Amino acid sequence: MRFDYKAFHIDCTARHDEEGSFYAHARITQANDASPHLEVFDSGDLDAFSTASDALHCARAWAIEWCDEAIA
């Protein structure tokens, strides 16, 4: 699930493991207009869920909260 939020590009994924769990993950990027350097923040595995949909919703909510705090 890719989307833009405020000044950020967010890519949420659900990693499926061998035991059937789906792990929520978010990658957040922000381009800085003053520099060609692209800033990337990688959440790592956030939590495990029984469905990919639940994992994606968790990653999305987490990423939005992270962005709100980064701009505040």
pLDDT digits (tens, 9 = 90+) for 6-35: 889 999 999 999 999 999 999 999 866 666
Residue 42 belongs to what domain range? 2-71
Tell me the C-alpha to C-alpha distance, in Å, between residue 23 and each of 10, 14, 27, 57, 68. Answer: 16, 5, 13, 11, 23
**pLDDT score at 35:** 61
CATH number of the structural domain spanning residue 46: 3.30.160
pTM for this prediction: 0.85
**pLDDT score at 51:** 97
Domain count, the chain: 1
